[in-house]
Structure 1
Amino acid sequence: MEQYHGLEGHDGPDHGGSDRPAPEHPAPGHPARGHPARDNDGGTDFHAFVRSQRGELERQLAEWVRVPGVLGVPEHAQDLLRSANWLAAAFRDVGFPVVEVLPTGESHAVYAEWCEASGAPTVLVYSHHDVRVAKPGQWDQTAPFEPAVRDGRLYGRGSSDAKGQVLAHLWSLRAHLHQRVVEPVETRPVETRPVVEPVEARPVVEPAQTQPAQSRAPAINLKYLVEGEEEAGSPHLARLLEEQGDRLNADFVLFSDTLLFRADHPALCVSLRGMLSAHLELTGPEVDVHSGAVSGAAPNPAFELSRLLAGLHDENGRIAIPGFYDDVAPVPEHIREALAHLPFTEQDWLERSESGSITGEKGFTVPERLWLRPAVEVTALIAGDPAGLSSAAVPSVASVDLSFRTVMGQRAEKVAEQFRQWVQDTVGESYGHTLSVDLETAQEPYRTPDHPAVSALERAMANGFRSATVGRMGNAGGGPAELLSRSLDAPVLFFGTGLVEDHWHDSDESASLEVLVNGAATLACFWDELARME
């Protein structure tokens, strides 16, 4: 079986570490490079097909959302397997001849392959099916795993991050195959590997079986790797990539776990930041001590931790760790210009992000702060009695979880050492401290290099979203893009269907069904664009 085909014009193994920009992009306000969006009649056909099947897409997404595949919660371990089996069944229903469920640490990944287009490009699509823990008491629209549709949105944990993104892919394939309908052919046997049987009391929920389309295989070669540990930093992905070896070879990776700029203004994501997590504990008294007995004479680790956190930034909003910016690579001017031409307004951003106000590093716009500059955030902070009645005691321990977002040029290991040294030099003598930095799940930043598929994706987005222009953006969050590129020796492109207003990791997560339709049409156009590449 042909599984890997070189693309003419690919520059070789320098996939993400360089500062070479993505291919030339149009001047702001001009049509996507190659031809205007309206020139591709296939885009209209794809839209019509997906829109006619929107009810089924909605039904499938609701069914999958009901499977609570929460990572990191022991009672949901079996649900992660059920989620993987649900997706495996959905791949088979589309027609994929190779579908496997692969154990990975605490979860399972799904691999699917359809490679019958000799001489055509091969694409490996990456995404994930595991979801974040949800607190039902904080959800107002519906319970986290009881999906509901309101005002064109499907509410439920995982609806946008990232089950909706995966289903956009499946429906893009159905649209693509629908366009290639021929006389009925024999059904190919499905290759599977046995997996652990689910418990009898809670059977696997699978998509309703529909009659497979009688069609040719896709016009390109497609491989999907949908992991089940992304929400924990993909701790076993490197091993999985090594174990699977050459079967994952591809001309490039399409990374589908990112945000769009706005539903009505598509922008091509060309980068994402790295991520490094740290946990710091400060200790003061040997035990929690009644404040009325020692107040004014005992070390309070909550005050000391507050002092440290306040000192993480200077008066200009820059991270005050010595040497932190030494390796930050200069941003090509054309990228800053592209961001400047996005229709960004502070009012629109505040309404959609619900972030309350705008802060950050002076001298940079909000898009630049989000996508081009490093940052650090407090994600958890505990001291004393975080819940229930107060004991009115000076706490013996104060702790904080921090998330560093790094950019091109920075490396997680060096940032970790810089932070360790800063903590060592900054914590007062009256306090003890313990610092752990998670290098195992650290992720490096990545920028898409020059590759002919970038222009093809740009044209597909113009058609899929029926827009004359396609902007440029980055992704503020992290992901294993650099690991995928390095392990597979292939460049990574990005296309996701999330929006900042989708409430990822928060209560009332939802996905715009219209965006999913446009995303599926975009991907169907992309497969056609790739098939025409020489």
Structure 2
Amino acid sequence: MTVDNAAPDTVPVPVPETVTAGFDDWLADLMGWLRIPSVSADPAHHGDVLTSAEYLAEALRRTGFPTVEVWTDTPALPAVYAHWPSGDPDALRVVVYGHHDVQPADGEERWHHPPFEPRVIDGVLHGRGASDDKGNIFMHLLGVRAHLAATGRTAPAVDLTLLVEGEEESGSPHIGQLLSRHAAQTSADLIVVTDTGIFDADTPSVCVGMRGVVSGELHVHGPDIDLHSGGFGGAVLNPLAELCRLVAALHDDDRHITVPGFYDGVVEPTTAERAATAALPFDESGWLSGPAQSRAAYGEAGWSTLERIGSRPTAEVNGMWGGYTGPGGKTIVPTDAIAKLTFRLVGHQDPAAVMAAVGAFFADRAAPGARVEMHWEGGGVRPLYVDPTHPATVATAAALGRAFDGKPVLFTREGGSGPEAELAEALEAPLVFIGVMTNNDQIHAPNENARVDLLRRGCAALGHLWEELAGLDRDFAQR
């Protein structure tokens, strides 16, 4: 192997050996980061988001990144930028994206251990952010050290940039401003997103699709004051009953979404894609009793559970409230009722078009006497699909396969959403996903965790990734 930018008298050390030797210190460093409650959704924790950014920045400096900055010059919560130039004039320019903010840790009575006091028990790291996304983004630190040791280089084989934002869990509302202001520092031939997972611990896979999402509240206003249900009930509109009627109208008996035009832009999976999904080693009963904690699979007729999660759009009710909810009874017709709704999008669905269609759907069906309004949260997130035959996707799968002892790497789609489509558009670059989260990690839920052996494999995969990508021509981005 010809090594550019090699240190004198350097003897290459295989990636697994470097990962093994440095893993305990790396894990201790990660656990220090997990202790910081960087909850972007809660203004009371915005100072912790800054502390989290500063912690990561210092860890990146210790790793060897010559340029590290904490960005606070936009309305966005603090983001971390790091850059390590390859030194090779034709090196691929790679921007790694992830986030350091975490979900709220509400429902602490359901946590087996305090959410921000991380601990390892029986090979599992417990704590908020262990998987999503601190554990996965932190893998890059040990991964790049392993890459340098294995290649004998003094700088990565790619021009390596990390962009770790601080408000992904709040919908990345300022990611566009962040990228625009720092366009010169984030130019890229390829984007690597480290905020996804694998099919399961024994089945390495690369994500090739993320759903988009729009979120909002449906408000139904009835009488202008709460009314005595004996004197007025049955004679005026009850907004809670009307809310339930409208929400129920979103689906037909086959659980198809009834909003006119909602399916415009949906790209149906091909016969080959459906066959590949069906061939995945999915234990539905184990999934139901395990991570789903449910008693039956349920959803759009004609599609499997995995297809419903990754390939189909959804309409979900996240919460409903109104009227009296205290102890005992209070016989009223309430004045207002509200439901929180989210719509997951796939293919080429346009968030703006979906929001317009949903708003018109409710307005057209509102009963006399009801004032019905949809209040949307931002402009939504577009879905993204990655070509599994793209050279960068193939190289990513090869790196992951090396970390999993040569096991075949499959391609899957995930049901979550993030700013990936906006990233790809803003940077005008193709995108790949790599990460080691699993459905058992209880992401966004109490008792979030990550298997330590998978984090170790993830570090190794990233140790292999830059060498795999360095062998590609930069013009692949034009594909």
Q: TM-score, normalised by structure 2?
A: 0.91
Match of 2:306 in 1: 367
Note the C-alpha offset of 1:87: 0.5
Note the C-alpha offset of 1:491: 0.6
Task: Name the SS of the counterpart of 1:72 in structure 2.
Answer: coil
Instruction: Tell me: CA distance 1:153–1:388, structure 2 relative to 1, closer, same or farther (3 Å).
Output: farther
Note the C-alpha offset of 1:140: 2.7
Q: Structure 1: which amino acid aligns with 2:79? A: A
Instruction: Tell me: CA distance 1:346–1:296, structure 2 relative to 1, closer, same or farther (3 Å).
Output: same
Note the C-alpha offset of 1:346: 0.9
* Residue among 112, 116, 129 paired with 2:82: 112
Note the C-alpha offset of 1:387: 5.3
Instruction: Tell me: CA distance 1:106–1:243, structure 2 relative to 1, closer, same or farther (3 Å).
Output: closer
Whole-angstrom CA distance in 2 between matches of 1:299 and 1:321: 24
Note the C-alpha offset of 1:145: 1.1
- Corresponding position: 1:342 with 2:342: no
- Alignment gaps of 5+ in structure 1: 1-41, 182-214
Instruction: Tell me: CA distance 1:161–1:389, structure 2 relative to 1, closer, same or farther (3 Å).
Output: farther
Total equivalences in the alignment: 458
- Corresponding position: 1:258 with 2:196: yes
Q: Structure 1: which amino acid aligns with 2:198? A: L
- Corresponding position: 1:161 with 2:132: yes
- Corresponding position: 1:82 with 2:21: no
Whole-angstrom CA distance in 2 between matches of 1:454 and 1:137: 39
Tell me if structure 2 keeps the 8 A contact 1:273–1:405.
yes
Match of 1:152 in 2: 123
**Following superposition of structure 1 onto structure 2, how do residues 69-468 of structure 1 map, counting pairs within 5 Å?**
69-103=38-72, 104-118=74-88, 119-181=90-152, 216-356=154-294, 357-386=296-325, 390-440=329-379, 442-449=380-387, 450-468=389-407
* Residue among 477, 488, 507 paired with 2:446: 507
Tell me if structure 2 keeps the 8 A contact 1:229–1:235.
yes
Task: Name the SS of the counterpart of 2:128 in structure 1.
Answer: coil
Moved more, 366-375 or 381-390: 381-390
**Following superposition of structure 1 onto structure 2, how do residues 3-42 of structure 1 map, counting pairs within 5 Å?**
none
Whole-angstrom CA distance in 1 between matches of 2:121 and 2:229: 50
Whole-angstrom CA distance in 2 between matches of 1:473 and 1:387: 45
Moved more, 161-170 or 458-467: 458-467
Tell me if structure 2 keeps the 8 A contact 1:136–1:143.
no
Note the C-alpha offset of 1:284: 1.8
Task: Name the SS of the counterpart of 1:179 in structure 2.
Answer: helix
Note the C-alpha offset of 1:136: 4.9
Tell me if structure 2 keeps the 8 A contact 1:290–1:392.
yes
Note the C-alpha offset of 1:342: 0.8
Question: Could you list the per-position Cα deviations for residues 66-89 of structure 1 after superposition, in whole angstroms to 9, with x for gaps in the alignment?
Answer: 111111322211111100000000
Moved more, 344-353 or 315-324: 344-353
Q: Structure 1: which amino acid aligns with 2:341? A: L
Whole-angstrom CA distance in 2 between matches of 1:147 and 1:412: 37
Whole-angstrom CA distance in 1 between matches of 2:404 and 2:130: 20
Instruction: Tell me: CA distance 1:388–1:488, structure 2 relative to 1, closer, same or farther (3 Å).
Output: farther
Note the C-alpha offset of 1:384: 2.3
Question: Could you list the per-position Cα deviations for residues 494-513 of structure 1 after superposition, in whole angstroms to 9, with x for gaps in the alignment?
Answer: 11221122112111111111
Note the C-alpha offset of 1:350: 1.4
Match of 1:205 in 2: none
* Residue among 441, 454, 467 paired with 1:528: 467
Q: Structure 2: which amino acid aligns with 1:244? A: H
Note the C-alpha offset of 1:466: 2.1
Q: Structure 1: which amino acid aligns with 2:123? A: G
Tell me if structure 1 keeps the 8 A contact 2:197–2:206.
no
Note the C-alpha offset of 1:180: 4.1
Question: Could you list the per-position Cα deviations for residues 419-454 of structure 1 after superposition, in whole angstroms to 9, with x for gaps in the alignment?
Answer: 0110011121121122112343x1111111353111
Note the C-alpha offset of 1:344: 1.1
Whole-angstrom CA distance in 2 between matches of 1:316 and 1:375: 13
Tell me if structure 1 keeps the 8 A contact 2:14–2:149.
no
Instruction: Tell me: CA distance 1:116–1:134, structure 2 relative to 1, closer, same or farther (3 Å).
Output: same
Q: Structure 1: which amino acid aligns with 2:259? A: I
Instruction: Tell me: CA distance 1:111–1:152, structure 2 relative to 1, closer, same or farther (3 Å).
Output: same
Whole-angstrom CA distance in 1 between matches of 2:226 and 2:109: 31
RMSD (Å) for aligned C-alpha atoms: 1.9
Tell me if structure 2 keeps the 8 A contact 1:136–1:144.
no
Whole-angstrom CA distance in 1 between matches of 2:252 and 2:415: 22
Task: Name the SS of the counterpart of 2:436 in structure 1.
Answer: coil
- Alignment gaps of 5+ in structure 2: 1-11, 474-479
Note the C-alpha offset of 1:355: 4.0
Tell me if structure 1 keeps the 8 A contact 2:76–2:174.
no
Instruction: Tell me: CA distance 1:234–1:387, structure 2 relative to 1, closer, same or farther (3 Å).
Output: farther
Tell me if structure 2 keeps the 8 A contact 1:412–1:439.
no
Question: Could you list the per-position Cα deviations for residues 314-362 of structure 1 after superposition, in whole angstroms to 9, with x for gaps in the alignment?
Answer: 1111101112123322323322222122111211221332240211111
Task: Name the SS of the counterpart of 2:185 in structure 1.
Answer: helix
Match of 2:476 in 1: none
Task: Name the SS of the counterpart of 1:423 in structure 2.
Answer: helix
Note the C-alpha offset of 1:490: 0.2
Instruction: Tell me: CA distance 1:530–1:290, structure 2 relative to 1, closer, same or farther (3 Å).
Output: same
Whole-angstrom CA distance in 2 between matches of 1:256 and 1:473: 15
Note the C-alpha offset of 1:285: 2.5
Q: TM-score, normalised by structure 1?
A: 0.82
- Corresponding position: 1:58 with 2:58: no
Tell me if structure 2 keeps the 8 A contact 1:313–1:320.
yes
Tell me if structure 1 keeps the 8 A contact 2:83–2:160.
yes
Note the C-alpha offset of 1:529: 1.1
Match of 1:26 in 2: none
Note the C-alpha offset of 1:244: 0.9
Question: Could you list the per-position Cα deviations for residues 438-475 of structure 1 after superposition, in whole angstroms to 9, with x for gaps in the alignment?
Answer: 343x1111111353111111111111122421111011
Question: After the TM superposition, which parts of structure 1 deviate over 6 Å for at least 4 consecutive aligned residues?
Answer: none
Question: Could you list the per-position Cα deviations for residues 80-107 of structure 1 after superposition, in whole angstroms to 9, with x for gaps in the alignment?
Answer: 1100000000110100001010014251
Note the C-alpha offset of 1:389: 5.3
Tell me if structure 1 keeps the 8 A contact 2:173–2:378.
no
Tell me if structure 1 keeps the 8 A contact 2:198–2:205.
yes
Note the C-alpha offset of 1:390: 4.8
- Corresponding position: 1:67 with 2:2: no
